[in-house]
Amino acid sequence: MVRCGAAVLRKYGNFIDDLRVYVRGGTGGMGHPRLGGEGGRGGDVWFVAQERMTLKGIKEKYPHKRFVAGTGANSSVRALKGEKGKDREVHVPPGISLVTDDGKQIGELNAAGERFLAARGGLGGSLATNFLPCKGQKRIIHLDLKLIADVGLVGFPNAGKSSLLSKISHAKPEIASYPFTTVQPELGKIMYADYKQISVADLPGLIEGAHVNRGMGHKFLKHIERTKQLLLVVDISGFQLSLKTQFRTAFETILLLTKELELYKEELVTKPALLAVNKMDLPCAKDNLNELMSQLQNPQDFLHLLEEEMIPANTLEFKEVIPVSTYTGEGIEELKACIRKSIDEEAERENEEYRKKKLLLLQTSQEEKMNGR
């Protein structure tokens, strides 16, 4: 068991989702007092989102984690106006939030090609500065990565999320019979016959108390924020983390997962959600499923099964409940179809809302023109 734990720690060290870096804009160039020349402005530091970049790659390439732009050129007889210093571009992965040391978010980069001005260069020497150059802006910024995926797998350890991801996508996560097999987020893509692709993130198993950062809860819960939909995965036979912890039925597991999401960030439970009931190949699975379905239809009648502080304010409403077995393959194709249907419905709903907003803006604009006459 000790060897296993050590391996988990080493593997987790390969994934980085927060990196603290120092950035400084370039110093301006010297002015020319005798001729009234103006020094060039210092270069700027930009963060630019680029596909296939990782924070781990940035850390390895720039171990000092310092990014400084070029100094502006001095004013001279040949060039009274000095040239601007060279800008410094730092490529980062999409899905980055830019946060200051005091926790204030100053920007985010969600798509490849998006840019953020991290540190502005200093002004060149001029009459206003007594021809002395100004230093560039300097700051410490946390690059906080939140994975962007269409669907996020959520469940307690050993629910079978890694096995499920390997069945529905081309991802090859580590799979074993002990809890906490997934110690870093895994991304996979579901490929459909019409070439449609849906990205799925397998997030490390939560435990009770994840919302207060127990078991690295915050490190993993934050990745759910940017997934479009949730896919809860539960073991039909229930879950028990260890002999010292209480056994939880599948229904109790769903309530506890909902509570953890709710306590971390209330908006998470408003995301569209599907439920995959896994391990349907086990004995008594069908009886357990019938019991679970009746509990889900009338959840209020069964809330007394949990301690009061464990009961979520709002229960998740699942668009579909799909029984599956990653061992036999039962329900896998149906699950993929349900994921596709749910994503397409949500995209259509967003498009409809966008069309309504555009139409409303157009009507408002026309009314303003008519009133202006």
Contact status, residue 65 vs residue 142, Cβ threshold 8 Å: no
From-to residues of CATH 2.70.210.12 in the chain: 18-145
Give residue-wise pLDDT tens across range 144-202: 988 778 999 988 887 888 889 889 987 664 433 333 334 467 788 899 999 899 989 88
Q: Which CATH number fits domain 149-350: 3.30.70.100, 3.40.50.2020, 3.40.50.300, 3.40.190.10?
A: 3.40.50.300
Distance CA 235, CA 212 (A): 24
From-to residues of CATH 3.40.50.300 in the chain: 149-350
Whether the per-residue pLDDT at 3 is higher than 60: the answer is no
Amino acid 49: pLDDT: 95
DSSP 269-289: GGS-EEEEEE-TTSTTHHHHH
Amino acid 306: pLDDT: 83
Distance CA 68, CA 54 (A): 20
Amino acid 262: pLDDT: 87
CATH topology of domain 18-145: Spo0b-associated Gtp-binding Protein; Chain: A, (2.70.210)
Give residue-wise pLDDT tens across range 273-319: 999 999 999 999 999 999 999 999 999 888 888 888 888 888 888 99
Identify which has the larger pLDDT, 305 or 31.
31
State the Cα angle at 268 between 264 and 269, rounded to 5°. Answer: 105
pLDDT band at 211 (very low <50, low <70, confident <90, very high): very low
Q: Express as a percent the part of the chain with pLDDT over 70.
A: 87
- The structure's pTM equals 0.71
Contact status, residue 121 vs residue 84, Cβ threshold 8 Å: yes
Amino acid 288: pLDDT: 96
Strand order of the β-sheet with 66-68 is 66-68, 18-24, 138-145, 96-100, 105-109
